[in-house]
Amino acid sequence: MEKNAKIYVAGHRGMVGSAIYRKLLTEGYSNLITRTSAELDLRDQQSVTAFFEAAQPEYVFLAAAKVGGIVANNTYRADFLYENLCIQNNVIHEAYKTGVKKLMFLGSSCIYPKLAPQPLKEEYLLTGLLEETNEPYAIAKIAGIKMADAYRAQYDCNFISVMPTNLYGYNDNYHPQNSHVLPALIRKFHEAKANGQQEVTIWGSGSPMREFLFADDLADACYFLMQNYDEPGFVNIGTGKDLTIKELALLIKKVVGFEGTLNFDSSKPDGTPRKLMDVSRLHSLGWNHKIALEEGIKLAYQDFLSKHS
């Protein structure tokens, strides 16, 4: 990407989009195009058409999406399917129509079958049933990958897809019901400490295993792949290392400084038993993550304190 190229970061206020935006600024890109959701509703086809025709971006990072944790995914099933399909359909199609040089579509590791072998290789996509609670979101993201590939095959568009693992970091969502597990635990432990609670209850058994990548590492990988990857299909982005939810909780408890005990509520759903990414393709291309989990949690907690305390 040329330093003066017009680059559109869709979703620049979210955790992923803001990390990509910061990365591009750090690398010396100044011609960045952004629109808030109030300025441009990506679900609206006419608005997206008008935006692309006026702005004429040369490169697009499609990081805009409707996202949430188990509760949100399972509660707002129609919204997650409809809104994500609208966003990616509109952006990908307009990128094709206006001759965008390269587009990156960002998906999610929840696209893999619930019981796929571990670690998750890219070729395991569509080899089994999805996790029921986030099936609508996963189907939307799978459609996005296939759409990028279809436009590449039919129209020779340089559209690529990446699949990040579980993310956390600056500008994360700490909503009590709609957040993912890591930020939800940061908030839980922080509030328990502030209120002098003796115990924190955590959903599920604590046994599922999860992998976590700091969002700024993801942005670094996206920037790297935008320069160095040009293939159909998609690339996993992660650390290749995981830990149990219980181990994660103990780590966050330590960082936050909560002194009480943990109680795991096994009556609540665990979700997928394990979701570890096979990142051998990414490593073979020459990229590795840099921020260790405990270091990243400390950075995320400081960001939480700056906004929520």
Residues with a known catalytic role: 137
Numbered residues of the known binding site: 11-17, 106-109, 141, 164-167, 180, 188, 203, 210, 270
**How many CA atoms lie less than 13 Å away from 205 in the CB half-sphere?**
8
Measure the CA–CA gap between 267 and 122, rounded to whole angstroms: 33
Q: Which residues are annotated as a binding site for NADP(+)?
A: 11-17, 106-109, 141, 164-167, 180
DSSP string, 150-219: HHHHHH---EEEEEE-EEE-TT----TTTS-HHHHHHHHHHHHHHTT-SEEEEES-S--EE-EEEHHHHH
What gap in Å lies between CA 203 and CA 249, rounded to an integer?
11
* Six token digits for residue 116: 């796929």
AA letter at 249: A
Task: Assess whether the previous peptide bond of 183 is cis (omega < 30° from 0).
Answer: no
Binding residue positions for substrate? 188, 203, 210, 270
Tokens matching residue 1: 């990407």
| Residues 34, 74: Cα–Cα separation, whole Å | 30
Among 47, 45, 64, residue whose Cα is nearest residue 55: 47
